[in-house]
């Protein structure tokens, strides 16, 4: 399943300012849907290291018209709201979103767990070390995979106690959120270990800076690098892919999925 990113922000690290206008963001979301996104993740606040916090009323002003507009224009896919604020999540769910993507894993707002529980929403539980302002300052783990697995397991228990059953949870190790390049690579390489937690794994590598560090490419030129990580993550068991470039990732994952899942069938005849 591909989750297409719809950032309604002036300052997101890769597409800040491009979709700040609601009508442009709606068009963009519909385009990602036509390219094969099964989920649209609408966000009104950047989480990049050092990003400025956005007041709730401004975040609402950015995201609610986009969610409403997508549905008015006939969007038929799931809509996820990328926020840690319960007030924003509540309005987004009322407007038609069905999933909350909260990078604080229920630690950012004490009202979030109760809201998600009572709304019956799906919930993406992501690992982040510290907070966006400081997370990239010398992050340390004893064992990056085991530490993050323990964190996600604890957060799943917390969610369950609040009434969010495990069947509604997606797990995300949080690529780039308080991680060095080496941490990100180890997480990808050992991604299959997260399957022990019994929930689908979501991965967000799209255009991220570790890909720039490895390839020397600017943020707009990291599609090939993003595809490499998605293909590898699929092979290691990830099933939800949060990306900006839906069409090329979809092609790559279609071929990957057809290749790794026996029995092999041929959708259309091919001669070479
Ligand atoms: N990455 C970003 C934002 N939200 N959510 C999840 N679950 N997983 C991620 O890896 C993830 C996320 C960062 O990407 P982007 O939205 O493009 O940038 P910004 O935070 O600057 O808006």
Fold that domain 2-261 belongs to in CATH: TIM Barrel (3.20.20)
Contact 159, 150 (CB under 8 A): no
Sign of the torsion formed by the C-alpha atoms of 209, 213, 217 and 218: positive
Would you say the CB of residue 8 lies under 6 angstroms from ligand 1?
no
Long-range contacts of 136-143, Cβ-Cβ distance < 8 Å, separation of 24 or more:
136/49, 136/178, 139/178, 139/179, 139/180, 139/183, 141/183
Report the side by side order of strands in the sheet with 240-243: 169-172, 122-126, 99-102, 78-82, 39-43, 2-7, 240-243, 202-203
207 is catalytic: no
* 33 in Cβ contact with 4 (< 8 Å): yes
* Ligand 1 mean position, distance from CA 270 (Å): 38
Q: 235 CA distance to ligand 1 centroid (A)?
A: 22
Domain boundaries, the chain: 2-261
In the prediction, which pLDDT does 49 show?
A: 82
Residue 219 per-residue DSSP state: G
Q: Are 66 and 25 in contact (CB under 8 A)?
A: yes
For residue 4, the cross-strand partners are 40, 243
Question: pLDDT below 50 — which residues of the chain?
Answer: none
Q: In sequence order, what are the beta bridge partners of 90?
A: none
Q: Which of 155, 208, 222, 236 is catalytic?
A: 208
Q: How far does the centroid of ligand 1 lie from the alpha carbon of residue 102, in Å? A: 10
Q: Given this model, what pLDDT does residue 267 score?
A: 67
Q: Which residues of 42-57 are buried (b: 16+ CB within 10 A; e: fewer)?
A: bbbbbbbbebeebebe
Question: Which pLDDT value is given to residue 271?
Answer: 62
- Is the shortest distance between the CB of 188 and ligand 1 below 6 Å? no
Concatenated DSSP letters of 101-155: EETTTT-S-TTHHHHHHHHT-EEEEE--SS-TTTTTSS---SSHHHHHHHHHHHH
Does 7 contact ligand 1 (Cβ within 6 A)?
Answer: yes
What is the predicted pLDDT for the residue at 270?
Answer: 60
Pocket flag, ligand 1, residue 184 (CB < 6 Å): no
Output the CA angle 137-82-147, nearest 5 degrees: 45
Place of tokens 């600017």: 218
Distance 26 CA to ligand 1 centre (A): 18
Partners of 243 in beta bridges: 4
The yes-or-no answer on residue 242 being catalytic is: yes
- 244 Cα nearest atom in ligand 1: 17
Is residue 170 lining ligand 1, measured as CB closer than 6 Å?
A: no
Indicate which residue's Cα is closest to atom 15 of ligand 1.
12
Whose alpha carbon is nearest atom 3 of ligand 1? 47
């Amino acid at each position: 399943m591909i989750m297409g990113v719809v950032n309604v922000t002036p300052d997101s690290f890769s597409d800040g300012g491009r979709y700040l206008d609601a009508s442009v963001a709606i068009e963009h979301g519909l385009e990602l849907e036509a390219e094969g996104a099964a989920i649209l993740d609408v966000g009104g606040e950047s989480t990049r290291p050092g990003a400025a916090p956005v007041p709730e009323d401004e975040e609402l002003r950015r995201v609610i018209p986009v969610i409403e507009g997508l549905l008015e224009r006939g969007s038929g896919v799931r809509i996820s709201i990328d926020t840690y604020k319960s007030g924003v999540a509540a309005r987004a769910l009322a407007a038609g979103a069905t999933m909350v993507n909260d990078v604080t894993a229920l630690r950012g707002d004490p009202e979030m767990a109760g809201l998600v529980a009572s709304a019956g929403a799906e919930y993406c539980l992501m690992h982040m070390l510290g907070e966006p302002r400081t997370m990239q300052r010398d992050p340390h783990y004893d064992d990056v995979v085991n530490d993050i697995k323990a964190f996600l397991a604890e957060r799943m228990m917390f969610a369950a106690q609040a009434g969010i059953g495990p069947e509604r949870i997606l797990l995300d190790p949080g690529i780039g959120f308080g991680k060095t390049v080496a941490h990100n690579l180890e997480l990808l390489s050992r991604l299959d270990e997260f399957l022990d937690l019994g929930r689908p794994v979501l991965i967000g590598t799209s255009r991220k800076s570790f890909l720039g560090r490895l390839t020397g490419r600017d943020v707009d030129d990291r599609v090939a690098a993003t595809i490499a990580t998605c293909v590898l993550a699929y092979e290691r068991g990830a099933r939800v892919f949060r990306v900006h470039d839906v069409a090329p990732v979809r092609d790559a994952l279609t071929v990957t999925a057809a290749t790794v899942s026996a029995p092999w069938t041929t959708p259309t005849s091919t001669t070479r």
